[in-house]
Structures are given as C-alpha cells and as structure tokens.
C-alpha cells in the first residue's frame, strides 16, 4: 500500500493500539459468548473463536479482550434466513495484520479454504480480469479515460511493513485444514464431529459445542420482527410498525448497529402503544423523531420522506467499537436508495417506521465487507430490490457472494434486478440525475454526484484524495494524465458533500480536507471516521447518524398534488395491480385523487355506505372493528390499500379506518373502480377476481393458519396478503391421497383442518401433520419436476391449496423466502 509514508502509517497504527489496550479490570475467562454471536475459547495456544458474524472484531474490542488470531469456520457459513455471512473473516484479518502486524489462522476444511481464498481475492486485491472494462463506460467516452485497474490496484497491493513485498492473501491469512476431522494447533487439538466441535488442550477435554452459529436470543428477536397475536385472531403490527415499549426500567436491547436509540417490544402489554419510531415533519420542513409507543403526535406533523436529502445510517469504520460502519439512504422524490447498507440495517429501518416499499434500490460502492455485508441482507428482505453499480463491481460481488453462500452466480442474479451504473453520462434514476465515477481505492469503488431539481449531493465513495500525492503518482507513471485530472478535479460545489476520511493509505487524510476553503467545509460532512478522531480545529465535522438527523435539501410539500411518477411508483409495487393492462394503468393514474386526513380523523366508518377505494401514499392508518363477532385491528402504511369490500360485495364498510398520523391517500370513486378493474359491463376483471379471492380467504380466516406456522408467521403483512390472494379452500376426505410419488408437482397446501401423513417414501417415518403445517416440494414446483413423496389424509379436513405456478411466482417475488425454502418439502 503506497500513497503515504511508512512513518505516518506506523504513527496511525500506534495511536490506535494505545486506544485498544485490554482493560485490566476484565478477568480472563475460559469461554466467552460474544454480543453479536460466536464464542471465544481460551487455550494454551491463545484464544480461539468460533463464528464470525459481521463486525465481530468490535465485540472483542468492546469487551477489552484480545482479538483472536485463530478462528474456527462454521460448516454453514451463510445464514439464509437473514442473508448474513457468519464467516466474515475480512476485518479480523485486517485488524490483526494492519494493527497488530500478525496473521490470522482459519481452521476449516479444504473446500471452505478455497472459497475463502476466492472471497479474499475480490476484497483484498480486487478482480483479476478487466478485459470488459469498456462496458462500464458510455460509448462516447474516449478509451484513454478508462481506469487502468491493473496498474492502479498494484499501487495499493504492497505490504505496508515492507514496500518491496507484494500483498497477497497469504500475507494476511494462514489455514489449518482438518485432516481426518482433526486440526492441530501446537498442544491444542480440535476434533470435528458430525454436528459439533470438541477442543482438547494438552490432551484434556476443554469444551464441546455445536457446529452451528446462532445469534444471541436478543439479536434473534431483533432480527425476527414479524410479530403475531398468539390467539391468531388479528395481526398486531407489521414488521415496520413493531410496537415499541415505553421505557420503564431504563434498559435498552443490544444494539446491532450502535447509532439507533432502540426500544424493546412490550410482550406483556401489547396495546400500550401502536406506533413505530416515526420521522415527522412540520410545515417548516424541520424533522423530528417521534419515539416509543406514544400516539400523542404533535399537531401539524406527518410521516413522509423528504423530496431530496440523505439519512446517514452509520458514519464510522470497521475498527470503531462504538460506531456503526458507514451507510446511507438517499431520498429522491420521496423514495429511498440505500447506499452501502450496514449489516442488519433493514430490520432497524422497519422498527423506525420506514416500510420496505419506500426503499427502491441499493447502490453498492465496492466489495469490502463494511460496505456490502448489509446489501445481501437487504436483497433477501421482502420483495425483489434493484441493485445499482458498475458491471465490474457487480461481477466481483457475484463471485464473492457465490463463494460465501455456496449459491451459483445465476441463483444470486435471480434474487434482484441489476441496473448498471454507466460512467461518462448522466443517468436519470427516479427523477434525479446521477453521475457515477471510479474513486481511487484498493479495489474498484464508485462515487457519484446526484442532482434533483436545483440541488445536489456529492458522495466520494472510499477514496484516497490527495492532489499532491496523486500528481506524484502521475509523474511516476502509475496514473495517466486523464486519470490524474479526474481524481484531482472535484470542485465541491454541491450543496451537501459526504466525504470519507478513513485511515490512509487507502483513505483520504483529514489534513488534506482541512485545507479546503471554509465555504466548502461548511457543506462537507465526514464519513468513514469516528467522531473522536476528527482533527481538532480543522473546521471538519462528522455526519450525524440517525433518521432524526436527516440532511434535507428539499422538504416535503404537503400542499402539492402527488407527481405522476410517484403515483406510478406506488401502484407498480402493489401486487394486485400486476394484471392491469397498460391502458387500464393509465386510466388508474388519471382517476386517482389525493385526499388528506389529520391525525385522529376517521377516513371511513364501519357500517356506512362505501363509495371509494383507497391507497395509502404516506402516513400510518389503523383498520379496526369493534363488532363482537368481528373484533380486530391491523395497521396500514405506504402502498397498502383498503375499501374494496364495500365496492365489490356488501355496499357497507366492514371496518373503520383511522388516521394514526397525518395521512395522504389516493382515492378511486366506485364508478372508476369498476371501469378500470372490471370488464366494462359490471363484470369482474382479473383484479376484482383477485380481490374477491382475498376477501374469501379472509372470510375463511386463512391468516390464522399462517400464524400457526413457525416459518410463515414470520412473513411481512404484504407477503401474507400475497399468499391469501392465491389460496383456495378445498375439502379433503379421510384416506384421500393428495399426490403420489413420481407425479408432477401441481400444487402445495396449508392444512386448515384434519391430519396428514407421508406414506411410501423416506418421509413416512415423520409424525402426522396438522393445522398450520405447509406441505409442498419446493424444488419440484420451481423446476417442474416429479414428486418424491406421497401424502395422505388420515382424518377428514380441509386445506388451503395454492397452484404451482402461483406459488412459484410468489417465491420469485420474494427472493429471501425462495432461498430459505427451496429445499423444503414441509414446514411446520
């Protein structure tokens, strides 16, 4: 790694080492469970850690214990449920090598070692092949302006302790491979058995533990936010509306990312509050975070994203035990684009009241773990998301995560929509103009400028910005003139400048940024740096993380009508409108009218005549009924709809809808509803048919069956609605065989009533399945293959049947569920 003096590098490292001295008051322990999961075992050869979730190195640092150099890699390295890599060795390796000047040793089998080497190639040194680099650029760009990555990455690929030595994965990593299920470290022997590891020290049994990484219970609770009512009668709150507990005892849950002030769910008294943390705005565009369970929202406030601005989710780096790694939401026209989301972020956003529908895309700047770990997590969260980056970075991401997850690159591609970032031309994304560029980093990394209306934001990406040093590299022949000019050309005229300021030599020295004019520094916010490390008296400042500190350039305009592209965005993400023709979608956009309701106002009243259908544009609404035989409540947010039942069937409202916060809805009159969704002659069109199927499923209380299933009860409200729309109740007689081995897979089902068993197949040894169980061979459904089981009813009952094509489409819309369930034949 070049670009700075060896003396400066060691000075930075020595300062960090002083801060990281173990705390003397912490007594040595034989074993230690880590906050983020995993286990440290003390041995005569030094501490050995099992499991490496993202940011694990911060656990040791926070506890004041030595960061281990030995790591046992779990057999299952990737948690499919949460989309999280639990063998994230990058930062333990970086910490030990660059801070402690020593290697780490990974203990695993040969296949895992090969996968890890593939990952480290992408993250430490970058891609090896740049023969297709021209595809990253617009055809009008002169090839002389293409980045010569082979030359450029070689600048950084040097051992900082010995500039004459090339940096390789072997410089940082060693492997001890299990041979005959045994790995030896001096006097310590690790035995790998079928489902556990056993460690002996000096031939004495030290410990046995499962070969399965588990998140701590508190974390598992935070990651699994989809709450259900134990009675199965009603859905208390969707994941982004998780009920927040009023602080009674001053205790806080463990923080997955350090910058959010979180509040526990109240398990004993679920009705003390029914709101998430909400970002509120007053008429002057000032933001306020409404926390806890209170619904005492100040008058004149409403929940809505800014027209243009940025929320910093984390602004620190991978070695800061008190801060979260950098991540952002760029708000454009009320829609969010996440940039380098930190691990677990999507779940925190849900807790804070930001529904998934508000996050339209992810930008991945590069493939270091502190920038891409949360991206895969978000990919698997809820419905399919769009990823924006260059082709070079995308293919690096695919190679890396294929090696991490054991999924093929084609399987990973199917989980998201890829939008290539093209360099050399402005790209219109959601109404804003993006200009992407390659930053100067140890692996390919992008930054960008984004302009919306007459305002703009600059995002540097991870980069080494030092005009003097860059000029020197040009004179030494490491960079050509065009690249030198591009790297030294930022004018910093944007309204907001987010600039990284990590530790050189692969990040920008603060001393360089401190020399910028005050009028630039006033608009500049540092990221990728801990607040305590900002140079005193430099005029520089760190971006404050948290949704309440959102930087706003254009505030929401509550008086204006909703723009056409925003309407289109909302209806395009509502599943039930999939069957609309292009003409009918145009008619719908023309007919939708904006209505606004104040907090506490009724939108519709139960038992009154219904004449309108509604779609929520922004805010929070409660649907409820106080009727003795129909008592329930549920919460709706942006992208949810209500009011269809009265227009299709009864004519009267079956429930009331209350504005919990100020509420914006798009309404559709009854005559337009039937014209657009019907067949033109008062008959049912495909949209109304789906609505009627949904109403029938709710009449049969299908949702209660989902609540009984430990897997499907975790689905989001949107996912549950998708399932309800494709379910059909069927009666089943005792002794009826629903399908036989070697038949084609034509449907799956949930058991509503009765009991079922597998027969004449390997699964016949299983106990009987009853209400709530899901039966279906997912692989056979997806591949159109033959069944490997036979299923029979042993008692009379009923099922909720879903046709194969409809269920396959449901899984394709929800990549996280596809990944989690694809090998399943039953789920209880």
| Closest CA relative to residue 642, chosen from 568, 695, 701, 580 | 695
| Closest CA relative to residue 673, chosen from 693, 698, 691 | 691
pLDDT tens, 71-97?
999 999 988 877 889 999 998 998 999
* pLDDT computed for residue 291 by the predictor: 44
DSSP state of 744: B
* pLDDT computed for residue 158 by the predictor: 87
Neighbours of 327 (CB within 10 A): 26
First-to-last CA distance in the chain? 53
CB 662 within 8 A of CB 598: yes
Determine if residue 350 is left, alpha or beta; phi over 0 gives left, psi from -120 to 50 gives alpha, anything else beta.
alpha
Residue 136 burial by Cβ neighbours in a 10 Å radius (0-12, 13-18, 19+)? buried
pLDDT tens, 628-684?
777 778 888 888 889 888 888 878 888 899 998 888 899 999 999 999 888 766 677
Positions of the chain with pLDDT lower than 50, given as ranges: 1-6, 9, 19-29, 225-287, 289-303
Sheet holding 196-201, edge to edge: 182-185, 188-192, 196-201, 204-210
For helices 582-591 and 564-572, angle between their N-to-C axes, nearest 10 degrees: 120
| Alpha-carbon distances of 258 from 191, 217, 313, 362, 522, rounded to whole Å | 36, 18, 10, 21, 26
CB 828 within 8 A of CB 822: no
- DSSP, collapsed to helix, strand or coil, labels residue 707 as helix
| DSSP alpha helix (H) spans, 548-593 | 564-572, 582-591
Residue with tokens 């979180």: 262
φ/ψ of 159, rounded to 5, equals -65, 115
Sheet holding 612-618, edge to edge: 593-597, 663-669, 612-618, 641-642
Neighbours of 525 (CB within 10 A): 19
Neighbours of 272 (CB within 10 A): 15
Here the tokens at position 269 are 């008294």
CB 793 within 8 A of CB 742: no
CB 125 within 8 A of CB 167: yes
| Alpha-carbon distances of 486 from 151, 163, 811, rounded to whole Å | 16, 27, 44
Beta-bridged to residue 32, according to DSSP, are: 40
DSSP state of 646: I
3-state helix, strand, coil in the chain (%, to 5): 30, 25, 45
Residue with tokens 């005050």: 518
Spell out the long-range contacts of 95-101 with Cβ–Cβ below 8 A and sequence spacing 24 or more.
Answer: 95/57, 95/67, 95/318, 95/319, 96/67, 96/69, 96/172, 97/171, 97/172, 98/13, 98/160, 99/13, 99/16, 99/17, 99/20, 99/319, 100/17, 100/67, 101/13, 101/161
Beta strands per DSSP E along 284-380 = 287-290, 302-303, 308-314, 327-332, 335-339, 359-363
Contacts with 734 (C-beta within 8 Å, 6 or more apart), sequence order: 793, 794, 795, 796
Residues 160 and 167: their CA atoms lie apart, in Å, by 9
Contacts with 365 (C-beta within 8 Å, 6 or more apart), sequence order: 339, 340, 371, 389, 393, 439, 445, 446, 447, 461, 462
| Alpha-carbon distances of 611 from 243, 596, 694, 796, rounded to whole Å | 32, 17, 20, 42
| Closest CA relative to residue 205, chosen from 41, 51, 68, 66 | 41
* pLDDT computed for residue 768 by the predictor: 92
CB 197 within 8 A of CB 213: no
φ/ψ of 98, rounded to 5, equals -80, -25
Its pTM stands at 0.83
């Amino acid at each position: 790694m070049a670009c700075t003096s060896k003396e400066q590098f060691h000075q930075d490292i020595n300062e960090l080492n002083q801060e990281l001295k173990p705390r003397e008051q912490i007594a040595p322990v034989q074993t230690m469970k880590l906050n983020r999961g995993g286990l440290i075992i003390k041995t005569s050869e030094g501490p050995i850690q099992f499991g490496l979730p993202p940011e694990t190195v911060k656990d040791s640092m926070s506890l004041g214990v030595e960061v281990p150099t030995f790591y046992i890699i779990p057999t299952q390295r990737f948690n499919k449920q949460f989309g999280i890599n639990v063998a994230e060795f990058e930062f333990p390796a970086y910490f030990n090598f660059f801070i402690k000047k020593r290697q780490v040793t990974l203990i695993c089998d040969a296949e895992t070692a090969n996968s890890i080497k593939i990952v480290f190639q992408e993250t430490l040194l970058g891609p090896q092949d740049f023969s297709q680099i021209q595809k990253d650029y617009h055809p009008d760009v002169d090839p002389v302006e293409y980045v010569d990555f082979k030359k450029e990455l070689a600048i950084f690929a040097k051992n900082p302790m010995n500039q004459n030595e090339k940096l390789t994965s072997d410089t940082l990593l060693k492997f001890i491979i299990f041979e005959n299920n045994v790995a030896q470290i001096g006097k310590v022997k690790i035995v790998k058995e079928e489902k556990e590891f056993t460690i002996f020290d000096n031939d004495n049994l030290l410990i046995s533990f499962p070969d399965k990484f588990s998140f701590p219970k508190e974390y598992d609770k935070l990651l699994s936010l989809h709450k259900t009512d134990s009675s199965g009668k009603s859905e208390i709150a969707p994941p982004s509306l998780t009920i927040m507990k009023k602080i009674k005892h001053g205790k806080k849950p463990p923080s997955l990312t350090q910058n959010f002030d979180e509040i526990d769910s109240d398990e004993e008294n679920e009705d003390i509050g029914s709101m998430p943390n909400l970002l509120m705005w007053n008429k002057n565009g000032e933001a306020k975070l409404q926390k806890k369970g209170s619904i005492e929202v100040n008058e004149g406030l409403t929940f809505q994203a800014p027209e243009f601005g940025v929320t910093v989710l984390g602004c620190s780096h991978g070695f800061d035990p008190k801060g979260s790694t950098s991540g952002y939401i760029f708000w454009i026209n009320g829609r969010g684009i996440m940039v380098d989301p930190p691990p677990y972020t999507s779940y925190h956003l849900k807790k804070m009241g930001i529904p998934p529908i508000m996050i339209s895309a992810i930008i991945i700047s590069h493939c270091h773990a502190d920038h891409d770990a949360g991206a895969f997590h978000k990919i698997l969260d809820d419905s399919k998301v769009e990823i924006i980056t260059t082709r070079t970075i995308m293919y690096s991401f695919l190679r890396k995560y294929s090696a991490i997850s054991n999924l093929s690159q084609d399987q990973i591609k199917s989980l998201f929509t890829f939008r290539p970032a093209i360099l050399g031309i402005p790209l219109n994304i959601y109404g804003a103009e993006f200009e992407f560029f390659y930053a100067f980093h140890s692996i390919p990394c992008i930054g960008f400028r984004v302009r919306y209306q007459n305002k703009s934001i600059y995002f540097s990406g991870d980069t080494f910005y030092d005009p003097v040093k860059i000029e020197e590299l040009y004179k030494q022949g490491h960079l050509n003139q065009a690249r030198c000019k591009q790297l030294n050309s930022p004018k910093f005229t944007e309204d907001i400048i987010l600039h990284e300021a990590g530790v050189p030599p692969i990040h920008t020295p603060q001393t360089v940024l401190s020399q910028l004019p005050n009028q630039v520094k006033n608009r500049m916010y540092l990221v990728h740096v801990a607040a305590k490390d900002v140079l005193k008296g430099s005029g520089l400042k760190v971006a404050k993380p948290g949704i309440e500190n959102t930087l706003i350039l254009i505030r929401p305009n509550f008086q204006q009508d909703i723009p056409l592209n925003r309407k289109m965005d909302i209806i395009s993400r509502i599943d039930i409108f999939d069957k609309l023709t292009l003409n009918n979608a145009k008619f719908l956009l023309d007919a939708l009218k904006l209505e606004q309701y104040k907090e506490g106002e009724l939108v519709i009243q139960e038992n009154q005549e219904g004449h309108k259908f509604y779609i929520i544009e922004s805010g929070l609404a409660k649907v409820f009924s106080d009727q003795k035989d129909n008592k329930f409540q549920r919460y709706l947010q942006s992208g949810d709809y209500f009011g269809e039942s009265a227009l299709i069937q009864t004519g009267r409202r079956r429930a009331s809808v209350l504005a919990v916060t100020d509420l914006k809805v798009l309404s559709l009159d009854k005559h337009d509803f039937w014209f657009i969704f019907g067949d033109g002659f008062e008959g049912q069109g495909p949209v109304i048919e789906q609505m009627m199927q949904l109403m029938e499923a709710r009449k049969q209380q299908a949702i209660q069956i989902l609540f009984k299933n430990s897997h499907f009860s975790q689905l989001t409200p949107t996912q549950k609605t998708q399932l309800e729309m494709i379910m059909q109740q069927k009666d089943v007689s005792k002794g009826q065989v629903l399908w036989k081995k070697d038949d084609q897979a034509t449907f799956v089902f949930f058991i509503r009533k009765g009991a079922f068993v597998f027969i004449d197949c390997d699964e016949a040894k299983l106990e009987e399945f009853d209400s709530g169980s899901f039966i279906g061979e997912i692989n056979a459904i997806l591949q159109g293959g033959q069944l490997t089981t036979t299923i029979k009813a042993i008692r009379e009952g009923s099922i909720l049947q879903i046709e194969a094509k409809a269920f396959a489409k449901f899984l394709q819309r929800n990549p996280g569920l596809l990944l989690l369930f694809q090998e399943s034949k039953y789920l209880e």
